[in-house]
Structure 1
Amino acid sequence: MFRITARTVLELGSELISSDIIAFYELIKNGFDARSKTGVEVRFDIPLSRGSYQRLAKEVSSGGNLVELKKLIISALAPRASAAAVDGFREAIEAAENSEDLQDRLAEAQARYNTIVVADTGSGMSLDDLERSFLVIGTPSRKREVEAALRRGEREVPYLGEKGIGRLSAMRLGERLRVETARVEDSRLNFLEIDWQAFADIDAMLDQIPVSPTVGPHKPSPTWSGTSIIISNLSENWTESRVREMAEYDFARLTDPFADPGERPRIAIFWNGERKAIPIMPSALLSAAHARVEGCYSVVDGSPTLTCTIEALDLGFAHPKEREVITLSVEDLQSAMIGRDRHIEDSALRSVGPFSFEAHWYNRRRLSRVDAIGEQRAVRELQEKWSGIMLFRDRFRVFPYGEDEDDWLELDRRALRRSGYTLNKTQFIGRVSISRTANPMLVDQTNREGLRITPEQQVFLEVIRYAVQDRLGAFMRDVERQYKNQKVDLSDAQAQVTRLEDRAKSAIRRLKRLTPPEGDEAIEDLQQTLFEFTEFAARARQRIAEVEQESRQMIDMAGVGLMVEVVAHELARASENALKALDRLRSKDVPDSLRPQFRTLQAELKSVSKRVRILDPMSVSGRQRTEVFALDELIRDTIEAHEAQFDRHNIRVFPDLPDRPVRVRAVKGMIVQILENLISNSTYWLDMRADREPRFKPEIRITLESGPPTITFEDNGRGISPDNREQVFKAFFSLKDTRRRRGLGLFIAREAAQHNGGTLTLAESINPETGRLHRFILELPEGAQL
């Protein structure tokens, strides 16, 4: 059987209660858990500040006239402190018989009469409650009731706290604790006193420290009930300015500031009898936001749905107020939040439970006077004070989310990699609301510093990041593109291309070290392919520079950049796969065994070469040139170029092409770009479905008709929600996971179709099996066919 040393309690308290505000938070929650009828009051009674005490203690230690020293100490006592504290302090000083006695009495009075009291008028505790519950660390009673409420499916949580360790919070604030409490049926008060210093004895066991409750005097009134936690021998230097600052910031954010003030739990702070105001966040501040996103994550009949409403109100240039509502069904959430890699199981999308959030964005440089707040400076200061996206469970704060030093949504980190709208955390005022019963898997860490890392917590974070980082940011950039002709920053895509090139070069170097002389021919082929691609990438980058000032910069820059990335990825993947094959044969001294591996390598290289050749019309020389070509032949070449990829993903392709050539006049590179994008997207969504349905057989059907020339591209993958039929063509809209999320492909493809006088649409016909849309239609104008 384990035995516990007394000092373990001190270690627990210091580890689990990490800050003063956390300590107050735990004590205040206990008051509300006791069903306090008048809220919770926190009273600082400080007759002598620590600074004054240290100065006076130095005076006393240096000697002097005893009478004069007593007068000096008594004159320094704060007149606004409670009469009981001031009188007790004075009596202790006046009773001193000499300088040494005065020094001891001053120290004892300082420890005894400077107090913090956390009081409630709740149910209180009986003598038996103190013995069997309060003195039991980790008491299970509340946890049992919370778990029972979860099993019953109740909407309201019976208790805010359930771990049974909140009482250690008093240890953070002071060395001595006195509990005064009573239930309605008690006639007298029940007392409990603890000196935490007694637990510091390194040789003492926990059961050797005597702590037991006692019965005190009669209650203030026969019907009174409640609890007062009285903390003395304070650990910190408490001043009026510090308490005021905590009231204005920490205590103001302790409960949900977005809630109606009349419905917020009452918390009152007093300094030496004077109440310190806890400010309320003015609604006018939220109305002054320049953009916002609100979201609701619901789980109905086991099926999760995310609905986001995004608004661009005033982005600093002339534009109407823009509003967008997007809805993500379970299929979309599986892709956007979990993706193909499946590090998290899909079930976490359901078990995370429902929650809501809102985030209001401010361009701090453009904040101006608000009538209900004041001049520009006052508005900026108020926005800074309330900045941060905070997390609340059952209306009470979950720390440290929303603190100045906390970047739980990685807004600052992402902002460093972006130009344009940098969504820094200080630009937001927001909240996320969860509950203990609706979100049982979102549980605090024991030290109250954030949620435990679970699959549900990861889904929770991904949903909010997607809404705030991706959807709001993309919507703002799209509004800017529409009304301000904003150019697209492709620095991320270019950096990705460079990384992929480096991977391929590194793989080739390693292949050279591993490969015997008879493999030189394959290595040379691979190097030549890399050289061709490097030239292609260089020409693409040159073209990016050339079109930077052109009006069609979106199509040219983004289109070339994305295609370069596709080819770079294929090249890197091919070389790395070949390297893995050779690695498996390193220990075998049989040269003939390498031949099949090199045949595989040659096939991979041919695939990449075809990809480069099919993308040749995207080069500088052919990028914008209108030419006559056979559309059916282009489709065949594109399918052939992807044969290795289709085989790798077990995708069957069914082309339905006419017997006679369909010759058209168009920009060939743009048609290639459209087909490449459709194939890339299709492969992703087919993989998503195949990964979740073992018997699924992925298929792509491509049909070409004439009069007018029309390509119908359809797959049997996850499909697209009818709600997002037009959204998928918007710039930066993507439902892929974070690693693959770009959101430019279909936008560029539609622009390319329109440049050729045609249209690219998602047909309204709903697949009866999935209830979603699967069919893209590219229609060129009648006059394009020859």
Structure 2
Amino acid sequence: MSFKITARTILQLGSELISTDAIAFYELIKNAFDAQSRSVEVRVVVRIDFELLVMLKEQCSLLVEGKKTNATISNIIDTALLNINDEAHQASELIEELETIDDPIYLLSVLKKANYILFKDLGDGMSLKDLTDIYLTIGTRNRRKQREEENNKGRPILGEKGLGRLSVMRLGEGLRVETTQAGEKNFNELEIDWSIFSHDSDALLDSIKLEPKLGKVKKDVSLKGTRIFVYDLNNEWTFDKLFKIAESELNRFINPFESKNRDFINLWFNRQTVPLPGIDKTVFDYAHARAAATLLIDKKDGPIFSGEIDYKSYNRQKTFSLSGTHLAGIIASPQYREILEALGPFKVELYWFNRKLLTLKEGVFDAANIKKLVDNWGGGLMMFRDGFRVNPYGGPDDDWLQIDKKALSSGGYKLNRRQLIGKVEISSAGNSVLLDQTNREGLRDNVEKKALVALLQFFIWKELKVYLDEIKEMEDENIAALELDEIEERIEKGQADVRQAVQLLREKYPELENEQDALSIIDDVLSESNALVKRAKDTASVYEDRLKTTVDLAGLGLMVDVIAHELNRATQHAMKTIDTLGSNLPSNLSGTMSTLRSQLKTLQTRLKVLDPLGPSGRQHKTPTDLKYLIKEISDNHREQFKRHHINFSVIDNDNNPQWIVRAVPGMIIQILENLISNSVYWLKQHHNIDRNFKPEIFIKVDRTNSQLLISDNGPGISVDKKEEVFRPFYSTKPPSVGKGLGLYISKEQAKYHNASLYLLDDGTKDHLNTFIFDLSKC
């Protein structure tokens, strides 16, 4: 006695087990890949509107069954001919066939095949025997044997269960297979009407006979490959529907992070190609953090889980490596080594986006497009086995790592799937225990899969998120450390100490009143430090963003802290001076006070360095040839201009080869270098969007007005940002590229020369492209 299997069991293994049309496509595409085809053509052919075709088939069925109907063969054919889409694939062939029909049975057959989905490959093909022994054998081990024999010509074998062919039932009621191997004279054919495997029938599976047969003779015996026609379609197909499936699912079937095999699928709707683009890697330039990890199986040391995190927003990096007990704790099993060795090596890579910062203001040049890319590809970690996707991981409705669930209950950054674009890479050879579920909805549950999930969750929550929160907390601590109120208190304490020391000197030695110069310097220093703190606090109030405010004032705050230290040191020296004077004023009082005066002058110099509106006094101006500096800078950029096809020119109507100004050459070079570097960057970005764009940079020498005009034809700077761009730490470059200090420093260097740097705004443009370096007061 043995099991008896009803024919309707095929439905449960086919159309009812495959959850989506996309999964059905994927199973048939994998079969083409396993057949060693270089590519597969998938073409959805719709020659007659779906709803109309359903009606015509129903009318024709009534004619075949001899039931009462007002329809005739002629008016069914006329209606069909009238509604054929002339632009559809093989529309003329359908017209010719319909015009010769006078039999309702044949007409019904033609109508069923009017619309179809074709899967065509040029792989190894199948013989007549293969159709019987392999294709019609459910659950065959053919692909598994191929994998075990490693006879796959360097390509992985994707199939394993021998059920993929049944996925055609999801798409349509009819199937026609045309296949052949090289050297055969004929095509081999198989046709199946899946409606006979109905729930309405109790027929046993072995009672239904399917007979492969020889087909037409081949014109070329070397021809090989397979064509699968799925007809009598179950659902309506339109270009928009196919495009949506392609954009959301089909373009993820083959690893979109890599270029390998990306051209394997050629997708068509009638005669119109449907694109299957990979990920536009531009989006990764705007990621705020990148993280990657690998599980390696070392024969001597055992499994090692290691990785790296690059928090690009703050230019901070970390690495980690776990083995031994640490891994055992993550896996929660003392048998961690055996489990992970069975699991096998894998790789994970992800990009994290702080979606609130995906704006032009925060450095995203094409913000709308970048947001769209993140929306399209975000969703967590997709999984790829040998470069082909394991569904549904990383899909819009899948949270296999419980990222969103964890995000709802966590503090700090609300890290969720929509912020992540990433992948996990496994292989058939290296991860043989990770097997697909029969319904193709993820991996089968086992201890190895559980270990994989545990490692990935640890990577995301204990390494990535903790590091993101840690760096943010450190930045917040820096904020607290640099609070101006706290710094003001330290300065006030230092001032009080200095005043106390001076008062002691005056009380004990009235003769000090003769040293008015030194005492005046002390008063000036104390007054200037008070004014400086007030000016800094006024500046801070302008900034709404606490973090940016702190970064903006960080240098100022640190220097104020240095001044507080200097004041304290001066106080200590004053007290030592008192100790050395004794009960009587020594004859060298003047020398001692001279030393104190010298230290206070040094302190005053430091205050001038700190004052953002005052000259540093640390560099000396010399006669400088601006024309020579411009030429030197342009020569240094010559190869860069050439590489990026940038036309650079200098406009000077004066024949004098020199233009001498009194300046610090290094500062002038830094100003011009910064302006040119900014131009080059934005011209490159613009060229990436518009390949017909011809970038230009030109410097105009205006000796009459003592000005340099530095211009480009790039995207420019919005008029409403013409002042903001000169503020420290403001940048519209990606987080990993711009720090926002270049223009601020350049403007301050211009001020050092009594010059000015600003954007030319004549009121006629929304975006400004010309910087004016005005040296008229230099």
Q: Could you tell me whether the CA contact under 8 Å between 1:157 and 1:436 is conserved in 2?
A: no
Q: Say if 2:175 and 2:228, in contact at 8 Å, map to a contact too.
A: yes
Q: Does structure 1 conserve the Cα–Cα contact (< 8 Å) formed by 2:309 and 2:317?
A: yes
Alpha-carbon distance, 1:355 to partner: 0.4
Q: What is the Cα deviation at residue 463 of structure 1?
A: 0.8
- Measure how far apart 1:67 and its partner are: 7.2
SS in structure 2 of the partner of residue 41 of structure 1: strand
Which residues of 2 match residues 253-272 of structure 1 at below 5 A? 253-260=252-259, 263-264=261-262, 266-272=264-270
Return closer, same or farther for 1:214/1:94 CA change in 2, 3 Å cut-off. closer
In the TM superposition, residue 347 of structure 1 has moved relative to its aligned partner by: 1.6
1:212–1:179 distance in 2 versus 1, CA, 3 Å: same
Counterparts in 2 of 1:443 and 1:56: CA distance versus 1, 3 Å: closer
Q: Assess if the C-alpha contact under 8 Å between 1:310 and 1:324 holds in 2.
A: yes
CA, structure 1 residues 161+73, in 2 after alignment: closer, same or farther (shift >3 Å)? same
- TM superposition shift of 1:403: 0.8
Q: Which residue of 2 aligns with 1:144?
A: 145
In the other structure, the counterpart of 1:16 is: 17
Using the TM superposition, give the Cα deviation of residue 75 of structure 1 relative to its aligned residue in structure 2, in angstroms: 3.0
Equivalent-residue separation in structure 2 for 1:376 and 1:255 (angstroms):
27
Pairing 1:22-37 to 2, within 5 Å after superposition:
22-37=23-38
SS state at 1:485 partner = helix
- 1:214-254 superposed Cα distances (whole Å, 9 cap, x missing partner): 00112252211001111001111111111111222211101
Aligned to 2:80: 73
CA shift, 1:370, in A, is 12
The aligned counterpart of 1:419 is: 411
1:734-780 Cα distance to aligned partner (Å, 9 max, x none): xxxxxxxxxxxxxxxxxxxxxxxxxxxxxxxxxxxxxxxxxxxxxxx
Partner of 1:448 in structure 2?
A: 440
Report the equivalent of 1:386.
377
Q: 1:430 to 1:329 in 2, by over 3 A?
A: same
Aligned to 1:127: 128
Deviation at 1:378, TM superposition (A): 2.0
Report the alpha carbon displacement of residue 372 of structure 1 after superposing the two structures with TM. Answer: 13
1:89–1:113 contact (8 Å) kept in structure 2: no
Partner residue, 1:87 = 93
Number of aligned positions between the proteins: 469
- 1:50 matched to 2:50: yes
SS at match of 1:14: coil
Map of 2:527 onto structure 1: none
Aligned residue number for residue 333 of structure 1: 327
The one of 317, 333, 350 equivalent to 1:359 is 350
Q: Distance in 1 between matches of 2:268 and 2:391?
A: 24
In 2: Cα distance, 1:80 partner to 1:171 partner: 28
| Cα deviation code 1:454-490 (max 9, x no counterpart) | 11101101111111122110010011011123999xx
- CA offsets per residue over residues 342-392 of structure 1, 9 Å max, x none? 6x7542122110000111111122113599997322221111111121000
Matches within 5 A, 1:74-223: 74-83=81-90, 85-88=91-94, 91-92=97-98, 95=101, 108-149=109-150, 158-200=156-198, 202-223=201-222
**Is residue 347 of structure 1 aligned with residue 359 of structure 2?**
no
Quote the Cα distance in structure 2 between the aligned partners of 1:371 and 1:69: 63
Distance between the aligned counterparts of 1:33 and 1:155, measured in 2? 10
Distance 1:127 1:73 in 2: 36
Task: Give the match for residue 395 of structure 1.
Answer: 387
Mapped contact 1:345–1:455 kept (Cα < 8 A): no
Give the drift of 1:6: 1.1
How far off is 1:135 after superposition? 0.7
8 A contact 1:181–1:226 mirrored in 2: yes
The Cα shift of 1:148 comes to 4.5
TM-score for the superposition, normalised by structure 1? 0.56
Q: Distance in 1 between matches of 2:243 and 2:49?
A: 15
The AA in structure 2 aligned to 1:47 is R
8 A Cα contact 1:175 1:232, kept in partner: yes
Instruction: Please tell me the residue identity of whatever aligns with 2:343.
Output: V
Q: Does residue 286 in structure 1 map to residue 262 in structure 2? A: no
TM-aligned CA deviation for residue 420 of structure 1: 2.6
Q: TM-score, normalised by structure 2?
A: 0.56
The range that moved more, 302-311 or 344-353, is: 344-353
Q: In 1, distance between residues paired with 2:185 and 2:173? A: 30
Q: C-alpha distance in 2, partners of 1:113/1:350?
A: 53
Q: Which residue of 1 aligns with 2:318?
A: 324
Q: Classify the secondary structure of the residue corresponding to 2:25.
A: helix
User: Are 2:359 and 2:367, in contact at CA under 8 Å, matched by a contact in 1?
Assistant: yes
Q: What is the rounded CA distance, in whole Å, between the counterparts of 2:59 and 2:47 in structure 1?
A: 18
1:329 aligned partner, one-letter code: S
Q: State the secondary structure of the residue aligned to 1:438.
A: coil
Read off the aligned partner of 1:73 and give its amino acid letter: A
Q: Sort the Cα spacing of 1:334 and 1:240 in 2 relative to 1 into closer, same or farther, 3 A.
A: same
In 2, the alpha carbon distance for the partners of 1:456 and 1:280 equals 30
Query: Is residue 387–residue 429 contact of structure 1 (8 Å, CA) maintained in 2?
Result: yes
Compared CA separation, residues 143 and 322, structure 1 to 2 (3 A): same
Distance in 2 separating the partners of 1:12 and 1:259: 33
> Which one-letter code corresponds to 1:82 in the other structure?
H
> Deviation at 1:144?
2.5
SS, match of residue 455 in structure 2: helix
Corresponding residue SS for 2:15? helix
Give structure 2 stretches of 5+ with no counterpart: 63-68, 481-778
Q: What's the offset of the Cα at 1:116?
A: 0.4
- TM-superposed CA distance for 1:74, in Å, is 2.1
**1:182–1:225 CA contact under 8 A, matched in 2:** yes
Once the two structures are superposed, what CA deviation does each residue of 1:247-281 show, in whole Å capped at 9, x if it has no partner?
22211101000012x54351010111221111121
- Measured in 2, the distance between the counterparts of 1:52 and 1:202 equals 29
User: What secondary structure does 1:414 align onto?
Assistant: helix
User: Which secondary structure state, in structure 2, belongs to the residue aligned with residue 469 of structure 1?
Assistant: helix
- Quick one: distance in 2 between partners of 1:483 and 1:475? 12
Question: Does structure 2 conserve the Cα–Cα contact (< 8 Å) formed by 1:93 and 1:105?
Answer: no
Map 1:635-784 → 2, pairs under 5 A: none
Amino acid at match of 1:337: I
Q: Deviations over 1:286-322 (max 9, x none)?
A: 12111121111110106100111111112xxxxx311
For 2:318 and 2:278, the matched residues in 1 are separated by: 30
Q: 1:473 aligns with which of 439, 454, 465?
A: 465
Matched residues in 1 for 2:245 and 2:179: separation? Answer: 27
For the 8 Å contact 1:182–1:189, the answer to whether it is kept is yes
2:19 alignment partner, SS class: coil
Counterpart contact for 1:284–1:373, Cα < 8 Å: no
In 2, Cα distance between the equivalents of 1:163 and 1:226? Answer: 22
Summarize the Cα distance change of 1:407–1:73 in structure 2 as closer, same or farther, 3 Å threshold. Answer: same
Match of 2:233 in 1: 234
- Report SS of the residue matched to 2:375: helix
Distance 2:111 2:48 in 1: 7
In structure 1, distance between residues paired with 2:99 and 2:289: 61
Distance 1:455 1:220 in 2: 54
Counterparts of 2:102 and 2:293 in 1: how far apart (Å)?
66
Secondary structure at the counterpart of residue 164 of structure 1: coil
- Please, which runs of 5 or more residues in structure 1 have no aligned partner? 315-319, 489-786
Per the alignment, residue 368 of structure 1 pairs with 359
Q: Which whole-Å CA distance do the structure 1 matches of 2:171 and 2:479 have between them? A: 55
Identity %: 35
Q: Following the alignment from structure 1 to structure 2, what is the Cα–Cα distance between the partners of residues 484 and 308?
A: 26
Q: Is the 8 A contact 1:127 1:215 kept in 2?
A: yes
Aligned position for 2:656: none
RMSD of the alignment, in Å?
A: 3.0
Q: Distance in 2 between matches of 1:438 and 1:202?
A: 44
Larger Rg: 2
Measured against aligned partners, the alpha-carbon deviations of 1:147-179 in whole angstroms (never above 9, x if no partner) come to 344xx9x99664110211111011111111110
State whether structure 2 residue 260 is matched by structure 1 residue 274. no
Distance 1:213 1:132 in 2: 11
Alpha-carbon separation, structure 2, partners of 1:372 and 1:135: 58
